[in-house]
Amino acid sequence: MIKLKNVRPGVLIVADAGLRLAPGQVVEVESLTTQMERGIAEGRLARVDKAEGNGSAPPETGGGGRAEPDDADLSKLPAAEAISRVGSEDDAARLKAHLATEKRRTVIDALKKRLAEVEGGAR
């Protein structure tokens, strides 16, 4: 079984597999379809290693510096990984700190959306 995670801030549809993935959703599949492979290559999907357990961060090839702690500066990560980390963040103070330093529009949008979710859930 192969575990895949939607790292986009929005819904991802994989038509050839009949999947509709919510942001951050992890799904197990028997094999990769053409659209799944393309999604991985384009950074929309990430393969989740079994060692990670909950799939909180998308694994990539074991390149140097990729295994950073959760409080790492998002600006040093590719946009897809940064958005994935934002989706799993529950601390409003950290989200605000990242929002103050982030320059990429897609990551800023994900930060604002997650911050609204976190602060809205505290009511």
Q: Along the 123 residues of the chain, how does pLDDT read in single tens digits?
A: 889 999 988 889 999 988 999 988 999 999 889 999 888 888 889 988 754 444 444 444 444 444 444 455 777 788 888 888 888 888 888 888 888 888 889 988 988 998 898 887 655
Strand extents, DSSP E, 7-116: 12-14, 19-21, 26-29, 45-47
Q: What is the pLDDT of residues 80-110, one digit of tens each?
A: 888 888 888 888 888 888 888 888 899 889 8
Predicted confidence at residue 83, as pLDDT, reads 85
Q: Which 3 state secondary structure label does DSSP give 27?
A: strand
Confidence (pTM): 0.42
Predicted confidence at residue 74, as pLDDT, reads 77
Predicted confidence at residue 61, as pLDDT, reads 41
Predicted confidence at residue 90, as pLDDT, reads 83
Q: Which residues make Cβ contacts (< 8 Å) with residue 25, sequence separation at least 6?
A: 5, 6
